[in-house]
Structure 1
Amino acid sequence: MTTGDLSTGGARALAPVARELQAALVDALGAAVGAEIRQSALTRALALDKSLASRLARAVTADGVAEFLHYVPSPPGLNLMLEAIAPEDISPAQRLRVERAIVAFRGMLETLPGGRADLEAMLSDETPFLRERALRTAGQSTFRGVSAQLGYQCGTLASTLAVFPSATNPDALDALEMQHRVGVRRLRPTAAIGLMRIRVEDPAAVQQPAVITIDREPIRRAEDVILREFTDTSIASFDVVGEGDGSEILLALTEEQAALHAPLTVTSGHILREGFYRYRPPEGDGWEARNYLLNMPCRRVVRDIYLHESCRVSAPEFSIHLPGAIGTPEPRNDGLLGRVASVDVGAPRQDLGRGVRRMGIRGLPSYAAAVKSAFDRAGLDPGAFHGYRIDLAYPLPLVFMSWWVRLADRK
Structure 2
Amino acid sequence: MNSDIPRSRLADVALRQRAEATGLALQHSIDALLGQLARAGARDQKGLQAVLKLSQSAVSRLMTSTRSSDPLATLFAIPGQEALRQMLKGAAQHGATSDAIARVDEAISGFERFIDVDMGDRATLEAVLSDWAQESRATFELRHKTAAFKSVSALRGVQAQLVLNTGILYPSATNPTYHDCIGIDALLGCRRTRPSGVLRVCSSSMAADGAHFTASGIGGQAVHNMADMLLPQYSTISTDEIEVASHGHIVETAVSGLPLGRADGHGGDLVFAMLYRNLHRARRGSGGPTSGLGGQAEPPSEAYIVDALLHEDVWPGVVPEVRLYDTVVRGIAHPDDPARVGDRLDMLESVQFLGRGPAAFRMPEFPQYSELIRHVCETQGWDAERLRGYRCKVRYPIYGSQIGLAFTLPV
Q: Same fold (TM over 0.5)?
A: yes
Aligned equivalent of 1:184: 190
Write the letter of the residue equivalent to 1:297: P
- Quick one: distance in 1 between partners of 2:242 and 2:310? 32
- Quick one: distance in 1 between partners of 2:207 and 2:165? 24
- Quick one: distance in 2 between partners of 1:150 and 1:47? 41
Matches of residues 185-264 of structure 1 in structure 2 within 5 Å?
A: 185-197=191-203, 199=205, 210-220=214-224, 222-232=226-236, 236-242=240-246, 247-255=249-257, 258-261=258-261, 263-264=267-268
CA contact (8 A) 1:316 1:403 kept: yes
CA contact (8 A) 1:311 1:408 kept: no
Aligned equivalent of 1:141: 147
Render the CA deviation track for 1:280-331: whole Å, top value 9, x for unaligned: 123x342123341222111011111012222223122221111135994748
Distance 1:67 1:178, change over 3 A: same
Q: Does 1:277 align with 2:265?
A: no
The more displaced of 211-220 and 111-120 is: 111-120
- Quick one: distance in 2 between partners of 1:115 and 1:22? 20
Displacement after TM superposition at 1:96 (Å): 2.6
Aligned equivalent of 2:300: 297
Displacement after TM superposition at 1:270 (Å): 0.2
TM-score (norm 1): 0.84
Runs of 4+ in 1 over 6 A off after TM superposition: 205-209
Distance 1:81 1:408, change over 3 A: closer
Render the CA deviation track for 1:124-167: whole Å, top value 9, x for unaligned: 22444421111111111111111111111111122210122234
- Quick one: distance in 1 between partners of 2:75 and 2:274? 50
- Quick one: distance in 2 between partners of 1:147 and 1:360? 28
Find the residue that maps to 1:80 and give its secondary structure: helix
CA contact (8 A) 2:245 2:251 kept: yes
CA contact (8 A) 1:329 1:341 kept: no
Unaligned 5+ runs, structure 2: 1-11
Distance 1:308 1:206, change over 3 A: same
Matches of residues 11-410 of structure 1 in structure 2 within 5 Å?
A: 11-34=16-39, 38-86=44-92, 89-111=95-117, 115-197=121-203, 199=205, 210-220=214-224, 222-232=226-236, 236-242=240-246, 247-255=249-257, 258-261=258-261, 263-282=267-286, 284-313=287-316, 314-323=318-327, 324=329, 328=333, 330=335, 338=341, 340-409=342-411
Write the letter of the residue equivalent to 1:392: V
Task: Give the fraction of aligned pairs with identical amino acids, expressed as a percent.
Answer: 22
Render the CA deviation track for 1:226-283: whole Å, top value 9, x for unaligned: 001111155534111117x8x332222124xx3434610000000122222222123x
The more displaced of 74-83 and 110-119 is: 110-119
- Quick one: distance in 1 between partners of 2:94 and 2:256? 69
Aligned equivalent of 2:6: none
Find the residue that maps to 2:82 and give its secondary structure: helix
- Quick one: distance in 1 between partners of 2:382 and 2:347? 30
CA RMSD of superposed structures (Å): 3.1
